[in-house]
Amino acid sequence: MSGNQLITISQPLTGNVTRLILENNDISSLADIRHLAKISTLEHLSLRGNNISSINGDGDAATDLRFPQTVKSLDVSRNNISSWIFLNNISVIFPALTTLRITGNPLYDLSPLPPSVAAATSTMSASKPMSADEGFMLTLSRFPNSLRTLNFSAISAQDRSNAEMYYLSLIGKELSATTSTDEPNIIATHPRYTELCDLYGEPAIKRAVFGDASGGQAIHPRSVAARLVKMVFRLQQQPDESVPQTQVKEIPTSFDTYQVKALVSRLFGLDPYGFKLIWETDGFDPVENTTLGEADWHEDSEDEMQTVSQASASTNTSRFTRREVELTESTRDIGFLFQGEMGEVRIRVDVSSSST
């Protein structure tokens, strides 16, 4: 039923339909096809190339729309989806999905950071669109274990755990960027939050605010507190067991790395040139093959996509690791490096073998 300028399905279809292709029509919401949910034999539904932007015509609010457990495959690629809330609802409306195709939507042109975090972060990376890997992880993490294939790429157990941990870290950043009174509202936008916390532990929430629990007041940008960075130094290799392994210091943002290293040298009794300072960020980077190539998010040919999937199935060894940045010697203020960071900054002190 493709290419017919359909804007809605006004009544249920009869017969034992198992595959329904409604591509390149003018459907704008899932509510417009709610009668299709009455097809008890439906297995695959393709809505590719429509203008779908919401669950209901007036937004992504919760709905009682449910498709039967028989529907295992859904294609909503090349629509106008721009909200993660839409994806949260997809997993409810189609509760038994094993295969999903969702590329080519404006959602993936946005920054992976939540709006509150992007607004609080003035670095250039805050406004960059998400990479293919970030899009893959942030989509996969919103679906239960029943999902087996995303954009023609098979999902491994490692892919899932990487995605869920990355998603959880971003929720932690979003909570850190707001006051405690906003926390229930934010968590409500992440239906899997409690489940993921049970699996991986709660994310670190480091609010750069002060005030009582009922509502915080943001730190004034001209205050002394705004000119300090709280740094947690963790000694990776202890030459002296009497020295505490962790030291916490609030350091002026006007310090350069030479001054920071001099401070660390005194804190742990180390040779100033015998160690490295490694910033353990909250970001993740791939260390082997990427989970999903850029082409996988933009190809038009299903046959080409299946070829890509088959070729990568035996070599999909994607792994992600926490992004680390070395604080190399520089006269530049550390405030530029940590611009937009909230709460504590974790710094690992790596002692070289020559200094022990």
Q: What is the CATH number of the domain that holds 300?
A: 3.80.10
Q: At what angle do helices 132-140 and 157-176 cross, to 10 degrees?
A: 90
The pLDDT, as a whole number, for residue 121 is: 54
Among the listed residues 110, 121, 216, 134, the one whose alpha carbon sits nearest the alpha carbon of residue 174: 121
What domain range is 350 assigned to? 221-284+324-355
Q: Are residues 149 and 239 part of one domain?
A: no
Per-residue exposure over 193-213, b if at least 16 CB sit within 10 Å of its own CB, e if not:
beebeeeeeebebbbbbeeee
Residue 166 forms part of a structural domain: yes
Do residues 177 and 264 share a domain? no
| Tokens standing for residue 202 | 């709660």
- Within 10 angstroms of residue 14's Cβ, the number of other Cβ atoms is 7
Short-list 138, 208, 152, CA closest to 179: 208
Let me know if residue 55 belongs to a domain: yes
How many domains does one find in the chain? 2
Please indicate, yes or no, if residue 13 is contained in any of the structural domains: no
Specify whether 198 is located in the same domain as 274. Answer: no
Q: Are 172 and 203 a contacting pair, CB within 8 Å?
A: yes
The predicted structure's pLDDT at residue 339: 63
* Helix ranges, the chain (H): 84-93, 115-120, 132-140, 157-176, 183-188, 193-200, 257-268, 302-313, 334-337
Question: What is residue 294's predicted lDDT score, i.e. its pLDDT?
Answer: 46
45 and 88 housed in the same domain: yes
Query: Is 9 within a domain?
Result: no
pLDDT of residue 241: 56
Is there a single domain that holds both residue 73 and residue 128? yes
pLDDT at residue number 292: 46
Q: By the 8 A CB rule, do 3 and 24 touch?
A: yes
Do 104 and 127 lie in one domain? The reply is yes
- The Cβ-side half-sphere exposure at 195, using a 13 Å CA radius, reads 12
pLDDT (0 to 100) of residue 301: 47
Same domain for 294 and 280: no
Divide the 356 residues of the chain into consecutive groups of 10 and give the mean pLDDT of each group: 93 90 95 93 96 82 84 96 92 94 93 70 59 90 93 91 88 84 90 92 70 45 58 74 74 84 87 85 60 47 43 46 80 74 79 56
Does residue 149 sit in the same domain as residue 229? no
Q: Which amino acid is at 107?
A: L
Length of the chain equals 356
276 and 301 in a common domain: no
**Claim to verify: residue 273 and residue 329 sit in the same structural domain:** yes
| Residue 14 forms part of a structural domain | no
- Whether residue 173 lies inside any domain: the answer is yes
> 6 lies in a domain?
no
Residue type, 7: I
Separation of alpha carbons 147 and 98, rounded Å: 4
- Check residue 269 and give left, alpha or beta (phi > 0: left; psi -120 to 50: alpha): left
pLDDT attached to residue 239: 54
pLDDT of residue 195: 94
Residues 340 and 263 in one domain: yes
**Domain CATH number, residue 271:** 3.10.20.90
**String of DSSP letters for 198-237:** HHH-PPP----EEEETTEEEEPPTTSSGGGEEEEEEEESS
291 domain residue, yes or no: yes
Helix %, strand %, coil % of the chain (to 5):
35, 20, 45
- CA distance linking residue 232 with residue 252, whole number of Å: 14
Q: Are residues 344 and 277 in the same domain?
A: yes
Q: Which residue has the tokens 């030291």?
A: 247
